[in-house]
């Protein structure tokens, strides 16, 4: 296996982008990443696309060919990767494997989703396909309901409070204020979260990530290419992926996302680091309880201790381990296929110094992207 570097990043703003189609968003992110890497389209040897459901959201499949065509990447092999909300992270992993295996030296990975052109009911229907349709969705168990069950069990077993969950949203909205790509630039209070509309008790509107449009892209290259072209890369030091039962009721422990635990173990071992070495992380906070679970399952705290850990300020931008300094899915936005790639854009930007004023001394970062309620998990470790 060869060492793999990230030398270029690009992204669109996240939000309700009415004037941009799915291919427009992807093409823009790809172009920005190529410009950032200072390489030509002719140098690109392969393309990986992360997108959950172009068909249901945009009436468009065959996204590998579409994006390669629109971005001017003529005749390159292009592969669309799907893993529900983990589609972007999986696409990044496949691009990493491509370069690490020696197959190609220069690979583009792009994540994109266009979710706002259909009704709210149609979005809910599309998202329900990321759960077990026969065992969950058909009975009305949408994702707010599934995560509400997890949250209620966490509260009853460990004493986690709605206030501690709300602090996750408050922190992430505060962080998003300095992120030009973020969907929301609105500061909120704990009281705002607690008073917001209940989706499925105890999950409220401001505990949940929004429906979003957007795209993000990365340029991955081999170590030889990076050295020959005298670029300053950020290295992908570890990559892990695992799955679990897609239905909550089939799991041994509903309060542990086993796929996250296993994927993190793989990534840590490959990178030669542990949870205590990670200095900054972007984790999958589709709901505030999901960030608390990630903090535990990634090994940052013991199971059940994430609520007090957050309450003590440990995950703030100046805390022990800053988490979701981008604003996370909660405030940055969550265009499904783009999320896992955008997480990497954020970490690479911070480690490389592209983003000023945010944890500029960090040398090791982590991204964590999950699909559904934990049926798939992807973890990557990045080193300066």
Q: Is there a catalytic annotation at residue 286?
A: no
356: exposed, middle or buried (Cβ count in 10 Å: 0-12, 13-18, 19+): exposed
HSE-up (13 A, CA, CB side) for residue 364: 15
Place of tokens 């009281």: 191
CA distance 80 to 227: 29
Residue among 154, 284, 334, 368 flagged as catalytic: 334
State the SS3 of 35-87. Answer: HHHCCCHHHCCEEEEECCCHHHHHCCCCHHHHHHHHCCCCCCCEEEECECECH
CA distance 226 to 220: 10
Structure tokens at 113: 């989703």
- Which residues have C-beta within 8 Å of that of residue 242, sequence separation ≥ 6? 258, 259, 260, 261, 262, 263, 266, 376, 377
Asked if residue 78 lies in contact with residue 70, where contact means CB atoms within 8 angstroms, the answer is no
| Residue of 355, 383, 374, 367 whose CA lies nearest to 329 | 367
Q: Is the peptide bond before 202 cis (omega within 30 degrees of 0)?
A: yes
CA distance 244 to 262: 10
Per DSSP, the three-state class of 8 is strand
72: exposed, middle or buried (Cβ count in 10 Å: 0-12, 13-18, 19+): middle
| Element of type H or E holding 370 | strand 364-371
Residue among 85, 104, 154, 380 flagged as catalytic: 85
DSSP conformation class of 171: H
Residues carrying an active site annotation: 85, 334
């Amino acid at each position: 296996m060869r060492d793999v570097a990230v030398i270029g990043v690009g992204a669109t703003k996240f939000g309700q982008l009415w004037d941009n189609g799915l291919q427009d968003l992807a093409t823009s992110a790809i172009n920005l990443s190529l410009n950032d890497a200072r390489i030509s389209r002719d140098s690109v040897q392969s393309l990986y696309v992360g997108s959950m459901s172009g068909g249901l959201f945009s009436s468009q499949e065959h996204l590998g060919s579409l994006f390669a065509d629109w971005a001017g990447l003529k005749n390159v092999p292009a592969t669309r990767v799907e893993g529900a909300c983990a589609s972007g992270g999986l696409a990044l992993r496949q691009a990493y494997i491509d370069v690490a295996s020696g197959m190609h030296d220069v690979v583009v990975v792009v994540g994109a989703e266009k979710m706002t052109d259909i009704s709210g009911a149609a979005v809910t229907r599309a998202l329900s396909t990321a759960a077990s349709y026969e065992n969950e969705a058909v009975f009305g168990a949408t994702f707010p309901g599934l995560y509400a069950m997890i949250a209620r069990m966490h509260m009853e077993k460990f004493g986690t409070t709605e206030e501690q969950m709300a602090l996750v949203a408050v922190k992430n909205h505060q962080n998003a204020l300095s992120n030009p790509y973020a969907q929301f630039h609105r500061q909120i209070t704990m009281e705002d979260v607690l008073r917001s509309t209940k989706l499925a008790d105890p999950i409220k509107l401001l505990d949940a990530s929004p429906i979003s449009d957007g795209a993000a892209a990365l340029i991955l290259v081999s170590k030889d290419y990076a050295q020959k072209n005298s670029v300053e890369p950020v290295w992908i030091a570890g990559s892990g992926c695992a799955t679990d039962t897609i239905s909550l009721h089939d799991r041994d422990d509903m309060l542990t996302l086993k796929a996250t635990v296993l994927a993190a173990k793989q990534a840590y071992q490959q990178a030669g680091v542990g949870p205590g070495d990670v200095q900054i992380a972007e984790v999958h906070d589709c709901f505030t309880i999901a960030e608390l679970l990630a903090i535990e399952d990634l090994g940052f705290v013991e199971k059940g201790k994430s609520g007090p850990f957050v309450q003590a300020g440990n995950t703030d931008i100046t805390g022990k381990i800053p988490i979701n300094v981008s604003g996370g899915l909660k405030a940055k936005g969550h265009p499904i296929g783009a999320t896992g790639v955008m997480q990497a854009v954020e970490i690479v930007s911070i480690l490389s110094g592209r983003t000023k004023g945010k944890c500029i001394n960090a040398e090791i970062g982590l991204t964590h992207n999950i699909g559904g309620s934990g049926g798939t998990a992807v973890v990557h470790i990045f080193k300066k």
